[in-house]
Amino acid sequence: MEFNGKVVLISGATGGMGEEIAKLLSKEGCKLAFFSRREEKLKEISSRLSNDKTKCIFKKCDVKNIEEVKEAVEFTHKNFGRIDVAILTAGVLIPNPIQTFDSKIIKNSMEINFMGTVHFIESLLPIMKSQKSGTIVATSTLPDRRGVPGWGAYGASKAALSWLMESLRVEAKQRYNIDVITVKPGSVKTPMLEGYERHGAIPAKKAAEIIIGGIKKGKKVIQFPLGQVALIRMMDAFPLSAYDSMDIDQQKGDGYPSVEEE
Ligand SMILES: NC(=O)c1ccc[n+]([C@@H]2O[C@H](COP(=O)([O-])OP(=O)(O)OC[C@H]3O[C@@H](n4cnc5c(N)ncnc54)[C@H](OP(=O)(O)O)[C@@H]3O)[C@@H](O)[C@H]2O)c1
């Protein structure tokens, strides 16, 4: 797929990967619509990336709020007349250690990472169905198959998302010619990982290049970086006894907040 002339909606456009994706697409001659909660930052990115070839619009949108998401999609459609690609990156990473296990953290993670994406998909589908074309790209995570100690809230929201996207992919294509793509990043240096040491983390710009390159090639699943893909998929195949004997602190990763024992 070529991006030139396409209308592209980006959620989480103020984030590490979202902004880098926006930067790359601003060189491709797209019509870009940016959404997230920080309006000032959206405004700054829009004015910086607008150029002769690229028109940018933006609107404040909390993905937890279904009405705001509907307005975001309508705003894009009204301004540009169609929506070719939606790149949904909005997300949060909140640890939930067993010592302070908290359903509010799980609810919030589900509402942003999972339902936030669902809200967009629901609003986008009628437009893309009537166009008989479109591409929906959602951002899950590389470790989306097995639980990771301390990261259950995040992992559950992303595993649910991977499942949903996998389910939608075949019917969306066969019935309406809509492409559904799941992005599964390993560690990427963005504000999300600030304070965490992740070995092999790649720069956000590199991640954006891989994502845009994967969409152009028509990939169904875009997972990276290669070394981490090999490691995580190998761990997916570990028998339970081997998986359960791994050191908990190593699994949680460097920088995981220490928690007082109750
Ligand atoms: N970095 C990694 O290593 C990594 C690995 C695997 C998967 N991912 C996933 O990749 C995606 C992008 O992550 P990133 O690393 O670029 O994170 P980031 O720099 O923290 O950016 C997150 C983005 O999500 C937006 N956001 C958060 N809550 C929102 C809400 N309620 N409504 C609307 N927007 C919201 C933020 O904007 P506002 O604060 O302005 O609302 C920001 O633009 C996320 O889905 C993340 O889970 C990241």
pLDDT tens sequence across 63-85: 999 999 999 999 999 999 999 99
**What atom of ligand 1 comes closest to residue 41's alpha carbon?**
40
Catalytic residue among 154, 176, 243, 256: 154
| Cβ 172 under 6 angstroms from ligand 1 | no
**What atom of ligand 1 comes closest to residue 204's alpha carbon?**
16
Residue 21 lies in a domain: yes
Yes or no: say if 140 and 158 are a contact pair by the CB < 8 Å rule.
yes
Residue 158 lies in a domain: yes
| Cβ 89 under 6 angstroms from ligand 1 | yes
Domain count along the chain: 1
Residue 60 lies in a domain: yes
Which of 10, 17, 148, 224 is the best mutation target for the ligand 1 pocket, counting ligand atoms within 8 Å of the beta carbon and taking the most?
17
Residue 259 lies in a domain: no
Domain coverage including residue 104: 7-252
Residue 204 lies in a domain: yes
* Residue 154 a catalytic site member: yes
| pLDDT band at residue 261 under the 50/70/90 scheme | low
Measured CA to CA, the distance from residue 45 to residue 25 in angstroms comes to: 12
Residue 174 lies in a domain: yes
Give the model's pLDDT for residue 252.
86
Measured CA to CA, the distance from residue 182 to residue 137 in angstroms comes to: 6
The pTM of this model reads: 0.97
DSSP 134-203: EEEEEE--S--SS--TT-HHHHHHHHHHHHHHHHHHHHHHHHH-EEEEEEEE--EESGGGTT-B-TTPEE
Q: Residue 83 carries which side chain, given as an amino acid letter?
A: I
CATH of the domain at 106: 3.40.50.720
| Residue nearest to ligand 1 atom 11, measured at CA | 89
Give the model's pLDDT for residue 253.
86
pLDDT per position as a tens digit, 117-170: 999 999 999 999 999 999 999 999 999 999 999 999 999 999 999 999 999 999
Backbone angles phi, psi at 160, to 5 degrees: -60, -40
Residue 257 lies in a domain: no
| Residue nearest to ligand 1 atom 46, measured at CA | 91
Query: Cα dihedral sign for 137, 142, 146, 151?
Result: negative
Q: Which whole-number Å values give the CA distances from 104 to 86, 110, 116, 176, 179, in the listed order?
A: 29, 10, 16, 37, 34
Measured CA to CA, the distance from residue 5 to residue 31 in angstroms comes to: 7
Say if residue 208's pLDDT is above 90.
yes
Distance 29 CA to ligand 1 centre (A): 25
Distance 44 CA to ligand 1 centre (A): 18
Residue 245 lies in a domain: yes
